[in-house]
C-alpha cells in the first residue's frame, strides 16, 4: 500500500470514527426533548452524553486536519466549495455546545426554551449538512481543470448527497435512542427504547435506499445492521442494539470512501478533472513524518478515550 492510499484510509477512519462516536451525541441532542418530557428527564438525557460529547467532537477536527495535511488539494477544493455549508456546521456546533453548557444556568423558561431548541436543531443540522457534503464528493461537484470549484451554493445539493445527509441524520437518531436505552434508567430508558423502535423503520428505509444507490457492499451491511438493531431494541438488548447501530454507521461512512477511491473528489464537469488520491496528496517526506506522528499519538488517543468510556460506563438515573 502506498503512503497516499494509507492516508486516504486514515482520513476515512477519522470520519468514520467521528460519526460512530459523535453520531449518538447528535441523536441524543435531537431526542432529548422527546424522551425527557420534563426538565428532569431532559437533564437525564443530556447527562448521559455529558462526559463524552466534547471529546467526540475532536474527531471532526482531526478528520479535517488530516485532509489538510495529507491531501491539501482535496481540502482546498472541498472546503472552498462547501464554505457556506461548513459555516452553518460551525454555527450549529457552537450553538449546541453553548446550549449544553449554559442552558441550565438561568431558570427563566424563555432562556431554557431557547437553548433547548438550539441543542435540538444544532444536533440535527450537523449530520445532515456533513452528509450532504460527503455524499456530494461521490456524486460530483462542478470542478474545472485547475481543481477549482466553479458552482454555487445550490450545486452542493446533489440528490445522492441529500439522501446521504438524511440517512446519516436518521442513523444518528436511532444511534442516540439505542445509547440512551443503554445508558439511562427509569422512564427515560423506556421512552428511549420506544422512540428507537418508532424511528427504526424510517432509518431502515433510508439505509435500504442508500444501499440500492451505492455500489459498495458495505452499504448493504449497514442496512442489515439497522434491521438487527430494531429487533434487538424490541427484545430489550440495548447493548447489542447500540453495537448494531454503531456498525451501521461505520459501514455507511466506510462505503462512501470505498465508492470514492481511487479519487478523493469527483468532478461533475468532466471525469478528467477528478481529484485523485495520488494527484491530491502531499509530498512523500510530509506523509512519512505524518505517519510516524500518527503511529505514536493515535493509539494513545484511542486508549485514553476507551478509558474515559470505561470510567463513565454506569447508567444515569432520572434524578441526575
The pLDDT value given to residue 104: 75
The pLDDT value given to residue 109: 81
Strand partners, 265: 275
Pairing of strands 275-276, 263-265: antiparallel
CA distances (Å), origin 212, targets 30, 132, 163, 215, 251? 27, 18, 12, 7, 14
Residues of the chain with pLDDT under 50: 320
Chain mean pLDDT for the chain: 92
DSSP the chain: --HHHHHHHHHHHHHHHHHHHHHHHHHHHHHHHHH--SHHHHHHHHHHHTTTHHHHHHHHHHHHHHHHHH-HHHHHHHHHHTHHHHHHHHHHHHHHHHHHHHTTS---HHHHHHHHHHHHHHHHHHHHHHHHHHHHHHH-B-B-TTS-B---GGGG--HHHHHHHHHHHHHHHHHHHHHHHHHB-HHHHHHHHHHHHHHHHHHHHHHHHHHHH---HHHHHHHHHHHHHHHHHHTT-HHHHHHHHHHHHHHHHHHHHHHHTTEEE-BSS-GGGPEEHHHH---HHHHHHHHHHHHHHHHHHHHHHHHHHHHT-SPBPTT-
CA distances (Å), origin 187, targets 38, 100, 183, 195, 241? 11, 21, 12, 12, 19
Instruction: Give the integer Cα–Cα distance in Å for 49 and 309.
Output: 10
The pLDDT value given to residue 157: 95
The pLDDT value given to residue 216: 78
Over residues 164-179, the pLDDT tens digits come to 999 999 999 999 999 9
The answer to whether the bond into 27 is cis (omega within 30° of 0) is no
The pLDDT value given to residue 240: 95
Q: Cα angle vertex 248, ends 62, 137, to 5°?
A: 55
The pLDDT value given to residue 87: 95
Over residues 259-287, the pLDDT tens digits come to 999 999 999 999 999 999 999 999 999 99
Over residues 297-313, the pLDDT tens digits come to 999 989 988 998 999 88
pTM of the model: 0.94
Task: Delineate the domains of the chain, giving CATH numbers in brackets.
Answer: 3-311 (1.20.1630)
Q: Which residues contact 38 (CB under 8 A, 6 or more apart)?
A: none
The pLDDT value given to residue 320: 42
Amino acid at each position: 500500500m502506498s503512503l497516499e492510499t494509507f492516508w486516504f484510509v486514515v482520513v476515512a477512519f477519522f470520519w468514520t470514527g467521528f460519526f460512530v462516536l459523535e453520531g449518538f451525541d447528535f441523536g441524543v441532542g435531537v431526542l432529548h426533548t422527546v424522551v425527557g418530557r420534563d426538565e428532569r428527564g431532559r437533564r437525564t438525557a443530556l447527562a448521559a452524553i455529558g462526559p463524552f460529547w466534547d471529546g467526540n467532537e475532536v474527531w471532526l477536527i482531526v478528520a479535517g486536519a488530516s485532509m489538510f495535511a495529507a491531501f491539501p488539494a482535496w481540502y482546498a477544493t472541498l472546503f472552498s466549495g462547501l464554505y457556506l455549508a461548513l459555516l452553518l456546521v460551525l454555527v450549529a456546533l457552537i450553538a449546541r455546545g453553548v446550549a449544553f453548557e449554559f442552558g441550565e444556568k438561568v431558570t427563566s423558561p424563555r432562556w431554557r426554551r431557547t437553548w433547548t431548541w438550539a441543542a435540538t436543531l444544532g444536533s440535527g443540522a450537523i449530520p445532515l449538512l456533513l452528509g450532504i457534503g460527503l455524499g456530494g464528493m461521490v456524486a460530483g461537484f462542478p470542478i474545472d481543470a485547475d481543481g477549482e470549484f466553479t458552482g454555487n451554493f445550490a450545486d452542493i445539493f446533489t440528490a445522492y448527497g441529500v439522501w446521504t445527509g438524511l440517512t446519516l441524520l436518521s442513523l444518528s437518531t436511532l444511534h442516540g435512542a439505542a445509547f440512551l436505552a443503554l445508558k439511562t434508567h427509569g422512564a427515560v430508558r423506556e421512552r428511549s427504547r420506544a422512540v428507537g423502535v418508532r424511528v427504526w423503520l424510517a432509518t431502515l428505509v433510508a439505509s435500504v435506499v442508500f444501499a440500492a444507490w451505492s455500489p459498495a457492499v458495505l452499504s448493504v451491511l449497514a442496512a442489515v445492521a439497522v434491521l438487527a438493531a430494531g429487533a434487538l431494541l424490541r427484545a430489550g438488548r440495548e447493548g447489542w442494539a447500540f453495537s448494531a447501530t454503531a456498525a451501521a454507521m461505520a459501514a455507511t461512512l466506510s462505503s462512501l470512501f470505498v465508492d470514492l477511491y481511487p479519487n478523493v473528489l469527483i468532478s461533475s464537469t468532466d471525469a478528467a478533472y477528478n481529484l485523485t488520491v495520488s494527484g491530491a496528496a502531499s509530498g512523500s517526506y510530509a506523509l512519512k513524518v505524518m505517519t510516524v506522528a500518527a503511529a505514536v499519538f493515535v493509539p494513545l488517543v484511542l486508549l485514553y478515550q476507551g478509558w474515559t468510556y470505561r470510567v463513565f460506563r454506569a447508567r444515569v438515573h432520572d434524578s441526575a
